[in-house]
Amino acid sequence: MKSQWRYLTVYLLLGLAALFIATYTTHAVPVAKPLDGIPTQLGDWRMIRQTQFSPGVLANLRPTDYLYREYADPQGHNLSLYIGFHDGGPDSGPIHSPKHCLPGGGWQALAEQTRQLVIAGEQLVVVQSLYAKGGSQEFFVYWYQVKGEVLTNEYALKIAEIRNSMLHQRKDSAFIRISIPDAASVADPSALAGDFIAQVFPHIKAALPM
């Protein structure tokens, strides 16, 4: 009798799993605000260029909204901001990890660490890294955002995507990167990036879905 109930329980669980797979769907989640609405003036930082990607680059990255700008401060420092948002719909691609893309492009990692920032009383943990290619160095700061949560590694990103897919039927995610070219000529690229992030993060947070 016990074995019969055990089999019935197994069949019931298998049936429920099959029903879940057959009826489960995820939906695309739009940005709360268009990314190109992020101000072109952020404190002392002023936008000097905005780039539109070629069809080939877009076909590779497959974001549903993105922003790629260069900003400069009065001292002549330049940096670039990239935000790639993926809404989780059928036309949205996965986020490409810089740990794979940069070495694939010929960049060699020299240093990497996580760093904690405090912006308007809120803690923000980011990854900052230094890469070299040929005779030049570039300083990068990046993080991922999923449903308002800031993440710093690909494993946490995948876990968050799976959790939100199961619980909320959404798989949207965003990748944010700040890069400082010719980093060897900058006295403190970490402080420079931190100043910019303090200005732009509230706007990024307002633009991405919670």
Asked if 172 and 29 touch (Cβ cutoff 8 Å), the reply is yes
Mean pLDDT, range 87-113, rounded to an integer: 89
Name the pLDDT band for 127 (thresholds 50, 70, 90).
very high
Q: Are 27 and 200 in contact (CB under 8 A)?
A: no
Nearest partner of 128 among 178, 79, 174, 73, judged by Cα: 178
> Model pTM?
0.87
Tell me the average pLDDT across 91-109: 87
**CA 178 – CA 204 distance, rounded (Å):** 12
Query: Quick check: is 126 in a domain?
Result: yes
Determine the pLDDT at residue 98: 87
**Range among 24-28, 143-147, 166-170 with highest mean pLDDT value:** 143-147
Burial of 70: CB neighbours in 10 Å, binned 0-12, 13-18, 19+ = middle
- Is 147 within a domain? yes
| Structural domain includes residue 111 | yes
Domain of 62, in residue numbers: 27-207
Look at residue 12 and tell me whether its pLDDT is greater than 80: no
Instruction: Report the distance separating Cα 43 and Cα 126, nearest Å.
Output: 21
Residue 157 belongs to some domain of the structure:
yes
Closest C-alpha among 62, 64, 38 to residue 50: 38
Residue 69 belongs to a domain: yes
